[in-house]
A = this chain, B = another copy of it.
C-alpha cells in the first residue's frame, strides 16, 4: 500500500500521522512545495505582533520527526501532474528542476488555499505582502522593521488580526475594506460595527466602501490608490481572501463543488477512485443547513486530514461536517460566531428570529467583569438553534460560543440551551450566563 500526500501542513500531516497509526505497513510519502511542514498558519499574525516569540515556534513537527515515524517527507517538491488512470503523480524537485513519476495506491490532495492577489497587487514594488505561510511571515516581519504607515487591504480575519499586530509594532495602520463594513462575511451589521469601533478606538484608520485601484511607489510602495484618493503607505498587506488550490484535483478529473472547492463525500473521497481531498482546498457539509460549504479553517483542515488518513489506510471514518464556527481577537475584543447569522438565515430563506443581549461576562458586581454582547438566532416554529454571535471586551469570554456550537451539532433548540446547567460562580459568569439570558428571550419568540 503506497499513500501519496500532496501538501504537508494541517490536513496533509494529520492524514500522514493517522494513516501511519492505522496501518503500520503502508508506505507514506508527503510532497510539500514549501520549506516547512506542519506549522500553525493561524499563528502567523501573532508572531508579527510579538505574542509568539518566533516563526519556529509555529512548527509542530519537523521532517526529521516525521521520518522517525516512517513517514517520508520531501520538501520543495511540486506535484505538477496526476494520471489517475495510471495512478501516478508527476513530481518536480524545485531545487534541481528535475521531474519524476511516482506511483500511488491512495492519493491525498491537501493543497490548501492561496491568497487572492488582484491585478493591482501583482507588482515588483517592495513592501507589498500577503500572509499565508512562514516565508510570507518572515518577509512581512522584515518589512515591518522601519515601516511607518501600513495599509491593510481587506477586513476579514487576517486583515483584522494584522491590524492589531501592526499597531503593537508601533506602525500606523489604515484598513481598507471594499464592503460596507469589516468582518462582513462573519457577522451581522451591528456586530460588524462593534468590531470597527474597537479598531478605531485603537487608532486604526478604518475605511469601508473603498475600492483599490493601484499602488504607487518607486522600488518600495509609497501609497495605495483608491476610488476615494491616495492612502500613503510604506507597507501594504493584501488580505482580500483566499482561493482553493484545485489545479491538481482538476487534473486528476475530480469534480469541484459549486463553492469552487473540491467536492468529497464524508470519507473525504473525491469523485475519482483512490483520490482523496482534505483541508482548505476541500468542501465540507454544514450541519445546520446540510449544504456544501467552503470554510477554510484550521480545525476543519486537521479533522478532514485525519478522516482521510484513516480511510486511505484501510479504515472507515466519516467527517461529521462543520457548523460554521469562527473566532478572532481584535485588540481587547473577542469576536466569535457559530452557525448562521440572521443575514445568512435570511439569504437561505429560513424563517429565523434573533435576540440581542448585552450583559457582563461575569457577575456584574465583580471588579473584573466586562461587557459581553450576544446575538442568538433560532428557527421559528421548530425552535431549533441556528447560530450565535458574541463580542466580549475580555476576549476569552467569547469562547462560550462553543456551547452553542456543540448544541448546533445536536440540532438542539433554544429551549435546550436555556435548560443547560451552565457553570456559575461570580468570577466566571452571572448567575444566568449571558447565553441562558439570550436563550430565555429567544425561546419565547420561536
A residues adjacent to B (C-beta < 8 A): 10, 40, 42-43, 46, 51-53, 57-58, 157, 161, 287, 297-300, 302, 320-329, 334, 336, 338, 363, 365-368, 394-403, 405-410, 412, 416-417, 419-429, 431-433, 435
The interface residues of chain B lying within 8 Å CB-to-CB of A51 are 366-368, 426-427
Residues on the B chain within 8 Å of A407, using CB: 406-407, 410
What is the minimal beta-carbon distance from A257 to any residue of chain B, in angstroms?
Answer: 19
Please indicate the chain B residues that have their CB under 8 angstroms from the CB of A338 in the complex: 421, 423
A22 to chain B, nearest CB (A): 12
**A396-B396, A431-B299 given as contacts; is B405 within 8 A of A409 (CB)?**
no
| 29 A-B pairs with C-beta separation under 8 A | A40-B365, A40-B426, A40-B431, A43-B366, A46-B427, A51-B366, A51-B426, A52-B426, A53-B367, A57-B365, A287-B421, A302-B432, A324-B421, A326-B423, A327-B423, A327-B424, A329-B425, A329-B427, A394-B396, A396-B397, A398-B428, A399-B429, A402-B402, A402-B420, A402-B423, A406-B406, A406-B412, A406-B420, A407-B410
For A405, list chain B residues within 8 Å (CB): 420-423
A40 and B423 contact, CB distance less than 8 A: no
Neighbouring B residues of A395 by C-beta, 8 Å: 427-428
Residue of B nearest to A406 (CB): B420
20 other contacts beyond A52-B363, A410-B412, with CB at 8 A cut-off? A40-B426, A42-B426, A51-B366, A58-B365, A157-B425, A297-B424, A300-B421, A325-B423, A327-B423, A336-B423, A338-B421, A395-B427, A395-B428, A396-B427, A398-B428, A405-B420, A405-B422, A406-B406, A406-B422, A408-B421
Which B residues are CB-close (under 8 A) to A435? 402
